[in-house]
Amino acid sequence: MWKKPSRLLSVILCLLAACTTLQDHDSSTPGERNPEKQEIPESLSFLHSKKPPCLEMVRKFCDKLYSPENQGSMSFTVGTTNFDVKMGRTENDFLQKDYEFMKSKLTGWKRFPRDLRASLNSHEFSRKLRQYLSRTSPQKMTLQNRMRTLRDEDELSFIWNLAVKEVVLSRMEKQYPGYSRIQEDLVPLELKYEAQRLGRMLKAEIAIAIWSNHPNWKMVESRFEKIKKTYVDEIQSSKQLPADLQQKWMNRVESVRLIVPGSDPQIDMEDCYKNESNAYYFREKNEITVCAGDFNTEEIDQTLAHELAHALDLGRSRYLFQRQSKFGNHLEQIKEKSCSSKAFSCQDWDTMKESFGNSLAEFQTYKADLPEFNTCLQDKALKTPIPDEYLTRIAKENVDETLADLAQMNIFLRVISPKIPLMNGSSQKNPMYLNPCAYYLWQTQAHPFEDDMSLLLFFTAEYRCSKEPVAAVRFKIAIDRAKDLQEQFVQAKVGMEGVYSERERLVTDGYSVSPAERFADAIGQRVFSRILAAEQDMGVRRARYLFNNAWLCRKPSLQKLFPAEARVQKNYYVEPHSEIVQRQKELLPDEIQEVLQCRQDFESHQCVMGDQ
C-alpha cells in the first residue's frame, strides 16, 4: 500500500428522446475550480536555483500548496510542461476528487450497462446529478438553498443505490425465474451468494465504465508500462545484486498486472474506484491498482514505482516460497479435492498428516533476500532471538482467535450440515456442506495459506475421514485435531517470518518490524530517480518530483501545529509507514538528491543495497 493521508472535467447534457449526450471530457462546468495555468510563483523560484536545499524545497512547495490562496489546488507551467495538484475543493464546495468521480459518471454514461442506465433514467438521475454539480457556492446560499442541497445529495445517493439493487434483482429474476417472489428468509443460500456475486460484478462493470477510457487512467496505464521498463533497467544495472536475484526480480516485475480500480469483483474496492487516495499491490493476485482519489489529483509515477517494489519485497518472497514448497503443494491438493466434485482421498490425507512436521520443516530453510539491507530498513532495535516458547504461545493464541471467530459464526456446523433449516419448516441444500471454499463468495478467493481457510481445510478433512460413530464426538475430535495441525502450521509461518513479520503482536512485543514499506520506498525511489533523470529541464525535473509528493504535504492540522508531539504520539500505535516528516526525508535519498541537484539539509540514515 502506498499511502492514506482532480481533474474536473465537464459535461453538457442534452435530453433528447430520453437519452443523454455527452460533450468532450475537458469542457467546463459551473462551479468547477479550474484555475488558469500560472507562471512559477516567486515562492517556488528554487525550481531553477543552483543547489537549493532539498527538504526546504518540499516544505516551500507544501506551504504554497496549502496557502490561503491555493488550499490544496495548484496549477502552473514549467517550460512547456503543465503540472496540476487537485487536492482542494471546487468553488461550489465539493472535494475535487469527489467532483471528478461524479462528473465521470456522466462522461462514462454510455458505457454503463443498459439495464443500469434504464433504471437511472427512470428517476432522471443524470439531470439531477448535473444540477447538483452546478450548485452555487455555500457563501451564496440561503438556508433554504443549503437544505435543498442536502436533500439533493441524499436523493442522488438513494437513486444510485436503488438502481444497483433493481439491476441485481432483475438479473437474478432473469437467471432464476420466480426469484423475486421468494420470501426473504426462504431464499436458498446458493441464490443469496449468487445475488452478492452479481452485485460485485455490476460494481466492477460500473468501475470499468467510469474509468477505463478516462484520460487520467490512460495516463496511469502509459506510465505503468514505462516504469516497468525502467525497473528492468535498474535491476540489470544493479551489479551488486546476485545474478539469480536479478533474474528473479525482473521476472516478478514483468509479471505484475495493472487493473482498473474496482474492476476485479473478487476484491472489495468500492472506495478505491470512487475517491480513495491510495494505491494497492495485491500479493496473492500479483496485481496493482491506483485509486481514483490518487490518479485524479496528482502525479503518480512515484506511487507506481513504490507499488511495483512490493512485488519484490519479503512478503511476496515468503508467499511464493510457501506456495512452491512441498507442504504448499500438498495443501493446494487438499483444497482442490475438498472444494470440488473430485473424490476426496482419506489415504492422501493420512499421508499428508504423516509427513506434516517434516514438510513444515522446509519453512526453516527459507532465507530472506538481502537480509542486511532489510534489517537496515527496520526503524528500531529488536529483542533477539525470538524464544521458541513465545512462537508457540503466539501460534496458540492466533489459532484460538481464528477458531473462536469461525465457531461463533457457526461455520463448523455449516460444513457438516447437508441442509439448512428454514422458517417455514422446510430446508434447502447447503452449498458449504463438506466444501470449506464456499466460505468465500468465489472459490478462487480461498487461499489455503490464509489462517481461516487452512483451519477449515484441516477440519473438513478430519471430519470426512473420521470413523467415530458418535456424531458430537466426531465433531469435537475433528475440531481438536484441526486445531493441533493449525498450531503447527502457524508456528512454522511465524518462525519463517521472524524479525521481518508484519504481525501486529510481534511488532508491539518488540520482536519484529516489517521493512516492507521502507523497502518499497527505497527501491521505488531508485527507479523514480531514473524517471526524473530523463527530464532535461532541471525545473521540470524538480517540479515533477514535488507534484509526485503532494500527498505528503500536510493540511493545517494539529499534527502540523505540534510536529514533535506528533512523532511521540506515533510511538503508541502500529503504522507500517514512517511518520510523515520522516518519510519526506526518506523519499530524498542520495540518488534523488543527485538527480535534483539539491543539497541535503537534514539528518538521515540511508540503507545501501550493497553486496550481501
**Residue 22 pLDDT more than 80?**
no
Quote the strand ranges of 384-504, DSSP E: 419-421, 427-429
Does residue 37 register a pLDDT over 60?
A: no
Query: What is the pLDDT confidence band of residue 34, given thresholds at 50, 70 and 90?
Result: low
pLDDT of residue 531 exceeding 60, the answer is yes
pLDDT tens-digit series, residues 59-79:
999 999 999 999 999 998 998
pLDDT digits (tens, 9 = 90+) for 150-202: 999 999 999 999 999 999 999 999 999 999 999 998 998 889 999 999 999 99
Predicted local confidence at residue 10, as pLDDT? 32
Please report, for residues 3, 36, 216, 304, the alpha-carbon distance to residue 299 in angstroms, rounded to integers and kept in the order given.
14, 18, 10, 10
With cut-offs at 50, 70 and 90, classify the pLDDT of residue 50. Answer: very high
Q: For 257, phi and psi rounded to 5 degrees?
A: -110, 145
For residues 261-289, average pLDDT: 95
Specify the pTM.
Answer: 0.90
Q: Other CB atoms closer than 10 Å to residue 241's CB: what's the count? A: 20
Cα separation, 469 vs 471, whole angstroms: 6
Lowest mean pLDDT among 16-20, 47-51, 286-290: 16-20
What is the per-residue pLDDT for 3? 53
pLDDT at position 354: 95
What is the average pLDDT score of the chain? 91
CB 590, CB 606: distance < 8 Å: yes
Q: Please tell me the predicted confidence (pLDDT) of residue 24.
A: 34
Is residue 117 predicted with pLDDT exceeding 70? yes
Compute the distance between CA of residue 395 and CA of residue 490 in angstroms, rounded to an integer.
5
pLDDT digits (tens, 9 = 90+) for 497-528: 999 999 999 999 999 999 999 999 999 999 99
User: CA-to-CA distance for 430 and 427, rounded, in angstroms?
Assistant: 9
Q: Is the pLDDT of residue 55 over 60?
A: yes
Q: Is residue 597 over pLDDT 60?
A: yes
User: Minimum mean pLDDT among 210-224, 251-265, 435-449: which range?
Assistant: 435-449
In this predicted structure, which of 11-15, 153-157, 210-214, 288-292 has the lowest mean pLDDT? 11-15
Q: What average pLDDT score do residues 113-118 get?
A: 98
Query: Is the per-residue pLDDT at 14 higher than 70?
Result: no
Choose between 251 and 19: higher pLDDT: 251
Give tens-digit pLDDT for 367-416. Answer: 999 999 999 999 889 999 999 999 999 999 999 999 999 999 999 999 99
The answer to whether residue 16 scores a pLDDT higher than 80 is: no
Which band of pLDDT confidence, cut at 50, 70 and 90, is reported for residue 574?
Answer: low
Q: What is the pLDDT of residue 20?
A: 32
Residue with cell 533497467: 233
pLDDT of 525: 98
| Beta-sheet strands, E only, within 257-314 | 257-258, 279-282, 287-290
33 — pLDDT class (breaks 50, 70, 90)? low
Task: DSSP letter for 572, please.
Answer: T
**pLDDT at residue number 575:** 65
**For a pLDDT cut of 70, what percent of the chain falls above it?**
92
Segment 565-569 mean pLDDT = 84
For residue 501, how many other CB atoms are within 10 A of its CB?
23
**What is the rounded CA–CA span in Å between residue 157 and residue 46?**
46
Contact call for residues 231 and 524 (beta carbons, < 8 A):
no
Task: Tell me: pLDDT of 248 over 80.
Answer: yes
Beta strand pairing status for 287-290 and 257-258?
parallel
Residue 31 has a pLDDT of: 53
- Single out the residue of 230, 208, 229, 211 nearest to residue 219, CA to CA: 211
**CA–CA dist 418, 414 (Å, integer):** 8
